[in-house]
Amino acid sequence: MKKMIRMGMMVAAMFFAVTTVAKAQDAQQQGRRGGGGGAGRITAVLKDSMKVSDAIVAKADSIQKAYAAQQAPLMEAMRGGDADARTKMMDLRTKQTADIKALLNDEQKAQFDKIMAAFPQGRRGGN
C-alpha cells in the first residue's frame, strides 16, 4: 500500500514538473513570435543601441502605447479577414514611426533608420 502511494506521488510530481517546464517554454516562444515585440524592439533600439535620454525613451514608449490602443481593434479585424484593416494598420505604423522620429535629431534619425532597416520585416516562417 505504501509503495502504491509513493508511486502515485512520484507520478504526480513528475506530471507537475513536466507541465511547468512546458508552460515556461511556451511563454518564451510567444514572446519571440512577436507578442508585442514590435513596440519593445523600438524602445530597445532607442535605449540600448542609440543611447538616447530616458526622457526620449519615455516619450517614445507613451507614443507606442497610444498607437497600440488604436492598433488592437485593427489586429482583430485583420484576423477576421478585413482586407482594409491591413492598410489602416500600415498607415498607423508609419505615423507611429514618424512621431517617434520627431523626438530625435537629424543624426539620430539617420541612425534609427539604419538600425530599423536591418530588422526583418513582415511575417517570418518557422516556429
Domain span at residue 20 reads 1-33
Model's pTM, two decimal places? 0.60
- Do residue 10 and residue 53 come from a single domain? no
Inside any domain, residue 114 = yes
- Do residue 97 and residue 41 come from a single domain? yes
- Do residue 23 and residue 55 come from a single domain? no
pLDDT in tens, 18-74: 666 655 555 444 444 444 455 677 888 888 888 888 898 889 889 988 888 888 888
- Do residue 110 and residue 90 come from a single domain? yes
Count: domains in the chain: 2
Spatial contact of 52 and 104, defined as CB atoms under 8 Å apart: yes
- Do residue 22 and residue 56 come from a single domain? no
- Do residue 26 and residue 78 come from a single domain? no
